[in-house]
Structure 1
Amino acid sequence: MPSALSTLRETILRHASEAHTQTTLPGLSLFRTECQTQPVDCIYKPRLCIIVQGSKQVVVGDRIFTYDAEKYLIATVDLPVTGCVTQATPESPYLSLSLDLDPADIASLLLSTGATPPETHTAPGLAVSTLTEDLLCPMARLTTLLDTPDDIPVLAPLIKKEVAYRLLQGEQGALLRQIALADSYLSQISRAIAWIRDHYARAFDIDTVAKIAGMSTPSFYRHFRAVTMMSPLQYRTRIRLQEARKRLLTDGEDAAEAGFAVGYESPSQFSRDYRRLFGSPPARDAARLRATTAPELSGIPADL
């Protein structure tokens, strides 16, 4: 009988025809690439990510996370990250999948199990842990529902609940619980993150966002940095620059237009920040990206 990992590998090979395949199973995405990729900037939403072949590196702030088929990655808040596939060949392509995490589903599961211990500390909103058979098996059963789509409406919610239960029982269970608790530090920081993402082009002070989170300014700053691995202003800058890069590539705006559109008042400051993050000035970077035909630069596999 094939192992859960080999079952996942075969299922992804059958159903992932592109770099990023959004499946008919709600919240489940498949990824496939036959070569290493250049670093790509994107936003990770709350999700579980599992690699079944190959490896990947994800950078958040000044932290580097590396994982492969022996580990899983979990994100619990919206985080701007830089990711790249580090191991993939045509003979042994990189294969992975992600499953969105729904706070309401996790809250319902916590209520049914009574597993709501008090919060003790604030942890980073992204973590990598050892992948176990207890988690692999339900993920394999969930993914193979793609072969029997008529079963998805009935069986997928049940298996997703089992996946969430296994995560809650695993190394990152305490972190996952904080997604569902309305008064947890993670939920408070998530409210602030949502506001910053909606208003990234506006000037704001830390006191304003701390009030949105329902925290004192010193406490908010400390917990925000612990969760996102960057300061609130650094977080806003990352969001601004990612949006500006998208505008340069897809809307054809020049550097000055893109900078003003995302909230910069000084073109020189925009250029300095852009170069610091992406390695070259806006116009040069955009020209390089337009000139390449590499699939990893098209924006499709940003969540690989």
Structure 2
Amino acid sequence: MRDDVDALRSELADRIASHARVKGDHETPVPGLLLTRLTDETACYRATCQPSLTLFSQGQKRIELGGVEYLCDRSSFFLSSIYVPIQSQVTEASDAKPLLTMKIFLDMESVREMLNSGDFLPLKPAKHNRGLAVGESTAGLLSACIRLIDLLDSPQDIPYLHPLIQREIVYRILRTPQAQSLRAVVTNGDLSNRTAHVMAWLRANYAKPLRMEELAEIARMGVSTLHHQFRALTSMSPLQYQKQLRLQTARERMMMDGMDANTAAYEVGYESVSQFSREYSRHFGLPPIRDVKTMRSRNPADLATQG
């Protein structure tokens, strides 16, 4: 069995490499499927996770959230059940042996429908129900992922077969212990599900003043309970989450839209430009103008967002 899994991991690496021939992220005709090839180790950098499944077939990456490290290598899948800012670092990659990954963005409504229609064991109470998890890829999961990539060689089959294969992939993930947070987030009424509604509200209203009482009303729980649940799921407080959303958005506005730092600060909800500059420097390691210049000077392939 171990030999079979190793062979499937090598086969998956070959499939990814054949469709991602140059470094960077590669969108594909298969909805929700992203292939990545990276050939250089990196310093620690800021990125944003969203609900997704990433399979690593070669190379190594370290992901950190709230002091907890997640080490991903060729044996791993990385599951994110939430939208959350993280720190990431490619720790093993080269021209001869690039980091090769495939990412599937999760449709949470489809995940909820499958969970409701399947015969899944009830959730067990978890002391730390974090929104990120790393697990070991199985033969069944690897086989389904290879078949999903194989659709790129027969584009006419994509509309008919990709929903079936992605459904199988979600099914296999939901059967793993690492899916506990994912199952909680999509289960109506669960505390993690209510907390996810608050996170969605913050993403849509990051520029507005944060009032915990208003967030607690959205979550239909007490302020202290919400604060505890939010930190358990994201390893940060709602205020820290909002701050990181603001800073990430300001950076994107300056990079993509050519917005100056003052305008970006006010656009994302800061009332003080000096405070914005201090917090931006603390978060990204450089003041806004220098950071944007540094980012623009890099190879476009190095600017790809990886979670």
User: Common fold, TM-score beyond 0.5?
Assistant: yes
Give the CA deviation at 1:278: 0.9
| Equivalent in the alignment of 2:132 | 126
After superposition, the C-alpha distances for 1:201-235 in whole angstroms (9 at most, x for unaligned) are 11121111111122111111000000011000000
| Equivalent in the alignment of 1:139 | 145
Q: Is the contact between residue 120 and residue 175 of structure 2 (CA under 8 Å) also seen in structure 1? A: no
Q: Take 1:156 and 1:294, find their aligned partners in 2: how far apart are those partners?
A: 30
| Equivalent in the alignment of 1:63 | 68
Q: Take 1:158 and 1:208, find their aligned partners in 2: how far apart are those partners?
A: 40
| Equivalent in the alignment of 1:236 | 242
Please say if 1:293 is aligned against 2:296: no
Please say if 1:111 is aligned against 2:116: yes
Give the CA deviation at 1:133: 1.7
Partner residue of 2:264 out of 258, 264, 267? 258
Change (3 A) 1:167 1:9: same
SS in 1 for 2:41: coil
Q: Take 2:71 and 2:258, find their aligned partners in 1: how far apart are those partners?
A: 34
Q: Which letter does structure 2 place at the counterpart of 1:210?
A: A
Structure 1, unaligned runs of 5 or more: none
Percent identity, please: 35
Partner residue of 1:99 out of 91, 101, 104? 104
Q: Take 1:23 and 1:105, find their aligned partners in 2: how far apart are those partners?
A: 20
| Equivalent in the alignment of 2:92 | 87
SS in 2 for 1:172: helix
Please say if 1:31 is aligned against 2:33: no
Q: Take 1:106 and 1:221, find their aligned partners in 2: how far apart are those partners?
A: 26
- How many residues align? The count is 301
Give the CA deviation at 1:76: 0.4
SS in 1 for 2:177: coil
Q: Is the contact between residue 188 and residue 213 of structure 1 (CA under 8 Å) also seen in structure 2? A: yes
Q: Which letter does structure 2 place at the counterpart of 1:203?
A: P
Partner residue of 1:170 out of 149, 165, 176? 176
Structure 2, unaligned runs of 5 or more: none
| Equivalent in the alignment of 2:10 | 6
Q: Which letter does structure 1 place at the counterpart of 2:290?
A: R
After superposition, the C-alpha distances for 1:2-26 in whole angstroms (9 at most, x for unaligned) are 9221221111112114511111111
Q: Take 1:114 and 1:10, find their aligned partners in 2: how far apart are those partners?
A: 35
Please say if 1:182 is aligned against 2:188: yes
Q: Take 2:275 and 2:82, find their aligned partners in 1: how far apart are those partners?
A: 28
Q: Take 1:160 and 1:293, find their aligned partners in 2: how far apart are those partners?
A: 33
SS in 2 for 1:274: helix
| Equivalent in the alignment of 1:302 | 305
| Equivalent in the alignment of 2:288 | 282
Please say if 1:150 is aligned against 2:153: no
SS in 2 for 1:165: helix
Change (3 A) 1:248 1:134: same
Please say if 1:222 is aligned against 2:225: no
After superposition, the C-alpha distances for 1:118-166 in whole angstroms (9 at most, x for unaligned) are 5623501111122222321211122212112222222222222221221
After superposition, the C-alpha distances for 1:34-86 in whole angstroms (9 at most, x for unaligned) are 11234443321111011111111222233322211111110001111222322
| Equivalent in the alignment of 1:76 | 81
Q: TM-score, normalised by structure 2?
A: 0.91
| Equivalent in the alignment of 2:198 | 192
Q: Take 1:153 and 1:248, find their aligned partners in 2: how far apart are those partners?
A: 37
